[in-house]
């Protein structure tokens, strides 16, 4: 099921995020994947899925979203709240 799939991906792809689409597909992002200093939430939500309505999606994270960053960096908790994701599960 969903939790088994998320557990597998979290175990073998650490320090990242996964968004589970309603149809069961998964989109991944990792810290510093696209640019040095970018966190996985920013990469996934602001750069890869910025054009998607994520209200019915589930976000799996390997770490809790950051609540403190140096300007002008975007807080990960802010990215996830602005995306209006239905559910967030942290490993």
Give the pLDDT of residue 7. 57
Give the pLDDT of residue 3. 58
β-bridge mates for residue 61, sequence order: 17, 90
Give the pLDDT of residue 37. 82
What are the residue ranges in the chain where pLDDT is below 50? none
Strand order in the sheet with 58-61: 26-30, 16-20, 58-61, 87-90
Give the span between the Cα atoms of 60 and 80, in whole angstroms. Answer: 11
Give the pLDDT of residue 41. 87
Give the pLDDT of residue 5. 59
Give the span between the Cα atoms of 68 and 66, in whole angstroms. Answer: 6
pTM of the full structure? 0.73
Give the pLDDT of residue 8. 57
Q: Which two tokens stand for residue 52?
A: 């998607």
Antiparallel, parallel or unpaired: β 58-61 and 16-20? antiparallel
Give the pLDDT of residue 42. 87
């Amino acid at each position: 099921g969903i939790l088994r799939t998320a557990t597998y991906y979290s175990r073998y792809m650490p320090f990242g995020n996964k968004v589970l689409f309603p149809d069961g597909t998964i989109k991944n992002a990792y810290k510093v994947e696209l640019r040095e200093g970018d966190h996985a939430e920013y990469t996934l939500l602001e750069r890869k899925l910025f054009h998607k309505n994520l209200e019915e999606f589930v976000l799996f994270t390997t770490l809790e979203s950051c609540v403190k960053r140096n300007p002008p960096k975007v807080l990960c908790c802010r990215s996830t709240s602005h995306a209006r994701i239905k559910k967030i599960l942290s490993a």
